[in-house]
Chain A
Amino acid sequence: MKRFFSSKPLLFIATSIFIMLLVFLNRGGLLGVPKGLFFRIVVPSQKLVLKVTRPIFNFSDAIISIRDLQRQNRELQQKLNKCLTENTQFEEIKLENEKLRQALDIRLKRDWRLLPANISGFDPENLGEFIMIDKGEKDGLNKDNPVIIADGILVGRITETSHCCSKVLLTTNSTSSINALIQPSRASGIVKGEHGLGLMMEMILQGKEIKVGDIVITSGLGGVFPKGLVIGQIEEVRSSTNEIFQTAILKLLLNIEDLEMVFVITDY
């Protein structure tokens, strides 16, 4: 046996057969137990490394970007002031809306059932394609459950679950495609991921007016995501008169590297 494996071509052939066997076993769903065992070892190790290193990186980032932070702080202060003014107006509108709802007897949509989960790891090769979270089948998570952050900003959806953890396909993943609406104009389109680097909204009809800064939300079509989750903000509009559709480049409103906790919508 030892002699058999000492031959280079034979070792290569044996390894190739073994890989093929693993691929077929995986297709048949027979690798669930070894995968589960592997995740039970990997996830705690990942969590430990993140717990130790994240504060160090956050601290060093803060020192490096202190000038940027000062500038951001000024900008945010200005935005806050603007928001405070708008908020007062919205409060008034909300009260008026509630009164009208009561008058018309329209019930508000029920709240989503959220489950908090910690990030236990990132995609091994491409930032912005997948993340791992420390909640799985034992916590009642299922495939296609939407994942958001606290502000209602969409992170992605669950694509694979095991006993203790789940894999989340991020919106920036190249295979991700979401039915979306541009909030002010109600123009619909499809948001697709761009190799983990960003987002692009396609299939927006030419006649629809869209502008930089508009917020893009989920339309609720397709049944995977509830309506109204924030996907991103329009950064650039690509429009040409000889094309049927317009395209928009979206800015992500979350930084994947900074994600620590997410919420899984288990029921909506």
Chain B
Amino acid sequence: MKIVIPILIFFAAIVLQTTLVQFASIFHILPNLVLTVGISWAILRSYKETVLCGLFAGIMLDMLSGTEFGIKTISLIIILIGVNLLAKEFLSGPRILLLTSLSFAGTIFYGLMNFYLLNLTFYLKLIHFKPELTWYVLVGQGVYNMLLVFLVFWILSKIDKWLLYYSKQVKLSR
């Protein structure tokens, strides 16, 4: 149950990302629901769960996207691990500040890592690499994710509370 729920959450996020989210584009910028869910989950849950969820979500993203297999998985796992470590061990302060800053920075680094890894696979050598377009997309998405993360975090914190309650009940019944 402990791992089934996050898997279902990430599966739903991927399905929504490839369908519903496409209708929410503003100036051709889309939010990254999977990344937002991942960042919120990494703030709320343990390191182990963050890695496993990142792995699962990354593999699904790789299967559904057209880029070289593995790029999304590696980028997502590294970003989520970074967010988890920063939120649990290094950063403290108001949660709103933590959420917005990690969401914005996470989006930017995730995008840059994607580009960097694509470059390593020679993918970008074939295309027009336009820094101004890349920054437009990345910063736009960062702002969009920063707004979306509040709603996502609120929903996930409810699920997190329920999961904690459920695991306590299981322990007590033993």
Contacts and interface: CB of A to CB of B under 8 A. Distances in A.
B158 interface: no
A213 to B, nearest CB: 23
B19 A194 contact: no
B128 A124 contact: no
A22 B59 contact: yes
Interface in A121-156: 121-130, 132
B42 interface: no
A46 B60 contact: no
Interface in B33-66: 34, 47-48, 51, 55, 58-61, 63-66
Contacts of A112: none
A129 B66 contact: yes
Given A6-B48, A49-B20, A123 B128 contact: no
A194 B133 contact: yes
A53 B21 CA distance: 10
Contacts of A5: 48
Contacts of B79: none
A194 B23 CA distance: 20
A12 B81 CA distance: 9
B162 interface: no
Contact of A18 (B17, B55, B61, B72): B55
A174 B55 CA distance: 27
A163 interface: no
A124 B64 contact: yes
A203 interface: no
A174 B64 contact: no
A122 B66 contact: no
Contacts of A122: 18-19, 22
B70 A195 contact: no
A27 B62 CA distance: 13
Contacts of A22: 59, 69-70, 73
B30 interface: yes
B20 to A, nearest CB: 5
A78 interface: no
Nearest to A27: B69
Interface string B82-115: 0000000000000000000000000000000000
A42 B66 contact: no
B15 interface: yes
A26 B70 contact: yes
A127 B48 contact: no
B15 A173 contact: no
B15 A197 contact: no
Contact of B28 (A18, A39, A50, A197): A197
Interface of B: 11, 14-20, 22-23, 25, 28, 30, 32, 34, 47-48, 51, 55, 58-61, 63-66, 69-70, 72-74, 77, 81, 123, 126-128, 130, 133-134, 137
29 contacts: A6-B48, A15-B51, A15-B55, A19-B58, A19-B73, A26-B70, A27-B69, A35-B63, A38-B63, A42-B64, A46-B19, A49-B20, A50-B19, A121-B19, A122-B18, A122-B22, A125-B17, A125-B30, A127-B28, A128-B28, A130-B65, A167-B66, A192-B128, A194-B128, A195-B130, A195-B137, A197-B28, A200-B128, A257-B22
Interface of A: 5-6, 8, 11-12, 15, 18-20, 22-23, 26-27, 31, 35, 38-39, 42, 45-46, 49-50, 53-54, 57, 121-130, 132, 159-160, 167, 169, 173-175, 192-197, 200, 257
